[in-house]
Amino acid sequence: METVIDQNQLLVKMALDAWNAQVNHTSKLLSSLSDEQLQNEVAPGRNRGIYLVGHLAAVNDKMLPLLNFGAQKFPQWSEAFLNKADRELEVLPTIAEIRNFWSDSCAELSKHFASLTANDWFERHTSVSAEDFVKEPHRNKLNVVIGRTGHLAYHLGQLNFLKK
């Protein structure tokens, strides 16, 4: 039994290390970018920096209910950053609010991540039924983080173009 726990802990560490690395790269990039740079499109005709940051924060915020950590903290921004494309809504949060949305959503996840035991990570997330989970045990909480790590890296590659 102890061996199982050790192995789980190791994989949880590997997956969370990968997540934290992408979060840290992103936070560092955002700190280095001015508000003006964040208002630019990452490439001609593509999303603006502020939209992508809001999108990533909204995806984080949605992870709270998905991982059974509680309700979203910023449900009012899902519409703008998840359901709508950039420029579809005229009113967006301010850049300061979007920066805070990112950092707050990361901190909130981090707090909850720290509260889980290794075995908790292998429990089902809230969008898979108990019945399906028996057949598809990979649809667990850790797998959500693995998927979101790729999503974050994908957009970080784009946000990086805002640098001079």
Among 65, 68, 103, 122, binds a second copy (CB under 8 A): 122
Is residue 66 part of the contact set for a second copy (CB under 8 A)? no
Q: Does 117 interact with a second copy (rule: CB under 8 A)?
A: no
Alpha carbons 22 and 30: distance in angstroms, whole number = 12
Binding a second copy by CB under 8 A: which of 34, 89, 117, 157?
157
- Distance between CA 47 and CA 39 in Å, rounded? 10
**Residue 133 lies near a second copy (rule: CB under 8 A):** no
34-42 LR contacts (CB < 8 Å, sep 24+)? 35/95, 35/96, 37/162, 37/163, 38/95, 38/98, 38/162, 39/95, 40/162, 42/158, 42/159, 42/161, 42/162
Residue with tokens 């957009």: 155
Find the shortest distance in angstroms from Cβ 117 to a second copy.
14
42 touches a second copy (CB under 8 A):
yes
What residues line the site for a second copy (CB under 8 A)? 3-4, 7-8, 10-11, 13-15, 17-18, 21-22, 42-44, 46, 122, 137-138, 140, 142-143, 146-147, 149-151, 153-158, 161
